[in-house]
C-alpha cells in the first residue's frame, strides 16, 4: 500500500470511530529498573548509590525520616522519592510532590501515566465542603499497582500529589 493510501485508510477508520490500537506498556515489575523484593543494596546498585537518608518536616511539625532520592524530577515536576522495604525487601516506592505550588503537575502526571499505561483501572473524584478537589486513580500493570493520588486546595491554590508504586500481588500467592 502506498504511503498516501495508508494515511487515507487510517483517516477513514478514525472518522468511522475505529482507531488503530495504541500499544501501552503491559509489564512492570517494580520502579525504574528495580524489582519487588530487591534488597536495599540491590536497589542502591540500580540507582548508582543515589539513595540517601534525609529528614523533612512533616505537616504536624515533626521531622520525618526518608530514604530515597531527595530531588527527583519527572517532566519538569519536582518530587522526592521514598523507597520502603519490608523485611529487607523493596515493597513500595512513593513519589511525592516537593512543592505545593506545582499545580500544573496534577494534570501533567495524569496525562503522562495514561499515555504510557492506558486508562486507569479505577478513577474516583470528589470535592469536599472545604473546596478540596481530590482524585484517586489506579493502574495495574504486570505485577505492579500505580496509584496516583491528587488533592487541589482551591482556597489556598496549592496541590498535594503522590504517585505510589506497590506490588499488585502478594508474593507467592498469585492473588491480587
CA distance 117 to 140: 9
Residue found by looking up cell 529528614 in the block:
55
**Does 171 score more than 50 pLDDT?**
no
Cβ contacts of residue 82 below 8 Å, gap of 6+?
66, 67, 68, 92, 93, 94, 96
Task: Give the pLDDT score at 175.
Answer: 38
CA distance 73 to 164: 15
Q: Tens digits of per-residue pLDDT, 101-127? A: 888 988 999 999 999 999 999 999 999
Task: Give the pLDDT score at 59.
Answer: 66
Q: What values do phi and psi take at 172, rounded to 5?
A: 85, -15
Alpha-carbon 111 to chain mean position: 11
Of residues 4 and 153, more confidence is placed in: 153
**Does 72 score more than 70 pLDDT?**
yes
Which cell is 169 given?
500481588
Task: Give the pLDDT score at 123.
Answer: 96
DSSP states of 37-48 as a string?
T--HHHHHHHTT
Q: Tens digits of per-residue pLDDT, 8-67? A: 444 443 444 444 445 666 778 889 999 999 999 999 999 999 999 888 776 666 777 789
Of residues 55 and 68, more confidence is placed in: 68
Q: What distances in angstroms separate CA 11 from CA 3, 23, 24, 149, one per listed residue?
A: 12, 18, 21, 36
Amino acid at each position: 500500500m502506498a504511503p498516501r493510501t495508508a494515511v487515507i485508510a487510517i483517516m477513514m477508520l478514525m472518522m468511522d470511530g475505529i482507531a488503530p490500537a495504541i500499544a501501552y506498556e503491559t509489564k512492570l515489575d517494580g520502579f525504574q529498573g528495580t524489582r519487588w523484593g530487591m534488597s536495599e543494596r540491590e536497589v542502591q546498585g540500580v540507582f548508582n548509590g543515589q539513595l540517601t537518608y534525609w529528614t523533612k518536616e512533616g505537616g504536624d511539625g515533626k521531622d520525618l525520616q526518608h530514604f530515597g532520592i531527595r530531588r527527583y524530577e519527572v517532566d519538569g515536576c519536582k518530587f522526592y522519592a521514598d523507597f520502603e522495604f519490608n523485611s529487607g525487601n523493596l515493597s513500595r516506592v512513593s513519589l511525592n510532590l516537593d512543592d505545593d505550588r506545582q499545580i500544573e503537575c496534577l494534570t501533567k502526571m495524569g496525562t503522562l501515566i495514561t499515555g504510557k499505561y492506558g486508562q486507569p483501572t479505577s478513577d474516583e473524584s470528589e470535592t469536599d465542603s472545604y473546596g478540596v478537589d481530590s482524585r484517586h486513580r489506579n493502574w495495574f500493570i504486570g505485577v505492579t499497582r500505580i496509584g496516583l493520588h491528587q488533592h487541589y486546595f482551591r482556597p489556598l491554590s496549592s496541590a498535594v500529589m503522590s504517585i505510589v508504586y506497590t506490588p499488585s500481588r502478594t508474593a507467592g500467592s498469585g492473588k491480587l
